[in-house]
Amino acid sequence: MLASRRPRTFAARLDSRTASTPFARHLLRAYLAALPDGERYSDVAELLLGELVTNAVQHSSAPPDRLVEVRFSVVRDLLRLEVHDAGAGRPSVRAAGTDEERGRGLFLVNELAERWGCCPRSGGIGKFVWALVAPALATV
């Protein structure tokens, strides 16, 4: 039997700054390009990863020299995205006012992900937020 050619978990550490968000999406596109049907995850996955990385950078209580880690893997046909940071706060969905320009990121994650959650990191420093993304239906 041939071993699966599906990529294993990918992980990268990025600076905790705004410029890391587009770079994280670039890394995700490269990861998905190696999957046989990776493009079926791309639209939703890029949006959700962007929101998770932005939240980790903007809302983490960690010192600015701490890194943010992103991880991608496919588990039973669901793409698992993880964003790790050293901050102590836990994210929560909130209702943004109609005139607010920010505050809808986790609402989008909540609506578009199959499931999502937040867990403490091993070692007791920080947390990671994860989201599961289903592949889009193939169009004919």
Indicate the helix (H) or strand (E) that contains 133: strand 127-133
The answer to whether the beta carbons of residues 121 and 56 sit under 8 Å apart is no
Q: Is the pTM higher than 0.85?
A: yes
Q: pLDDT grade, residue 132 (50/70/90)?
A: very high
Give backbone dihedrals phi and psi of 64, rounded to 5 degrees, phi first: -65, -15
pLDDT at 1: 41
Nearest to 113 by CA among 16, 36, 17, 43: 43
pLDDT tens-digit map of 9-39: 999 999 999 899 999 999 999 999 999 889 9
Strand, helix or coil for residue 5: coil
pLDDT tens-digit map of 105-114: 888 899 999 9
What topology is assigned to 10-94+103-133 in CATH?
Answer: Heat Shock Protein 90 (3.30.565)
Q: Is the dihedral of CA 114, 116, 122, 127 positive or negative?
A: positive
Domain locations in the chain? 10-94+103-133
Mean predicted lDDT score pLDDT of the chain: 86
